[in-house]
Amino acid sequence: MRLPANRILNGLVVAGCTLLIAIAMYMQYVMSLQPCYLCITQRVFVTLIGAVGLIAMVHNPASGRVYGALIALLSCTGGYFSGKQLWLQSLPEDQVPACGPPAEYLFDVFDFGEAVSMLLQGDGNCAEVQWTLLGLSIPGWTMIAFVGFAMLGIWQVVRKS
């Protein structure tokens, strides 16, 4: 059985990331669901994965190991933030952290590094489940996507050229 070419695999990554960002925009602007800090972080990683996939698809090297490793690494990092949000959503109500100030305030009061650190920790807003499909919340579905992207990246790393 012949495996799909790296360009096709990277095209799947780009298509998947484009679809995820389009769904996120629909949920935000049509369904009026407001993203929390961790949701935005996950969007950044989906966008980065899509950008790496697009560069890899255009470059189309003989071996996709470097791009595959980068896609897998970004997917694992994005999956970490999905997992963190899923953990916050699973906490009993009395253990959910307090809601934090808006991001604009954090960047006005703290230096960039401290503000980003606070944003990446998440807060009570990240624990709210705004939407589900088949019993999974948005970060649950995003985690599935990150696992899929990681598998495609790892496949490019371990496959024979």
Kindly report, residue by residue over 8-49, the tens digit of the pLDDT: 889 999 999 999 999 999 999 999 988 888 888 999 999 999
Which residues, other chains included, contact 42 with Cβ-Cβ below 8 Å and sequence gap of 6+? Answer: 78, 81, 82, 85, 139, 142
pLDDT at 1 over 70: no
Q: What are the structural domains, with CATH classification, of the chain?
A: 6-158 (1.20.1550.10)
pLDDT digits (tens, 9 = 90+) for 92-146: 888 777 777 777 777 788 888 887 787 777 777 777 778 778 988 999 999 999 9
pLDDT at 161 over 80: no
Cβ atoms within 10 Å, residue 112: 9
pLDDT digits (tens, 9 = 90+) for 47-92: 999 999 999 999 988 778 999 999 999 999 999 999 988 988 888 8
Give CA–CA dist 60/86, Å, rounded: 36
